[in-house]
Structure formats: C-alpha cells, structure tokens
Structure 1
Amino acid sequence: MDDRPASRSGWRHYRLLLIIPFIWQIGLVPFANSVDMRVLSLPFPMVWQMVGILVTSGIIATVFTLDRRRDRAEGAPEGEDL
C-alpha cells in the first residue's frame, strides 16, 4: 500500500531520460561498430563507450537533481526515500 500523498505518487516524465543510456549502449552499437575512424589513436567503438559513460553519468545526475528539486517543492522530508 502506498501511503505517500497523491501528488508525490505521480509519474515523473523526465525519468524517461534514463532510456537514452540504454539506447546509446545497446541500440546504437551496430552504428558504432561500423565506423572505421580512430579518435586519439583509439578505435571508435572504445571512444563511443567512454563517451557513453560520460553521457550516462550526466543523465543520471540530471534526473537525481530534478527528483531532489521536485521533492523539495512538494515539501518532502530531506532524507526520505521514494
């Protein structure tokens, strides 16, 4: 049973951003593997994975920040987990 207020139990649409890393790492691998270019003497798929880590970290940080901001706006206690 969910005892949270109705306003906090709604879907947070910005969490759809978390699909981007999945698409980046799984869905676009055929594209990355077909590129023969080298970046800084590294094969492109390796650079693709490293950039993917940075993009994923940025997206997770963004979603975390938006969650915290929304919780504060709704008056949630600081240490409460969702």
Structure 2
Amino acid sequence: MNAAWCVELLAWTAAAQRDWKHAAVMLGAAAMYWQKIGRPLTGLSTLSRYRDNANQDTRNDLGESAFGREFTEAL
C-alpha cells in the first residue's frame, strides 16, 4: 500500500507541475497498484478529488489517445 500511495502522490505532483506525460504514466502505475490491493486510495478516500483532478487535467491536456498510451505504459 505504501508504494501505491507514493506513486499516487507522484502523479498528483506531476500534474500540478503540468508534466502531463509523467502524470499519465504515474496515474497508470498507481491504478495498477490499487488494482492489486483491491481498493483505490485505501484509507483516505476523501483525497480522491486530487486523483480525479490530476486525471482530468492530464486527459484534457494530452487528449484521450495520448493519455491512454501513457497510462497503459505503466500497466
């Protein structure tokens, strides 16, 4: 779970810095970790808005196709 949280926070940081490709890869990696755990954002679901914002901002900037490529690179 610690790895999932670390990668999640890296994704949010990359998105805040407008490093969209890195954000998409980190969002994909975080999704992979959370899938293995079985629950996204275990323990702090109130922070899901940060993931949602990072996800939406990254998708908007990269576009769906590029976002999908970068996101699945981590899977």
TM-score (norm 1): 0.35
Q: Greater Rg, structure 1 or structure 2?
A: 1
* More strand per residue: 1
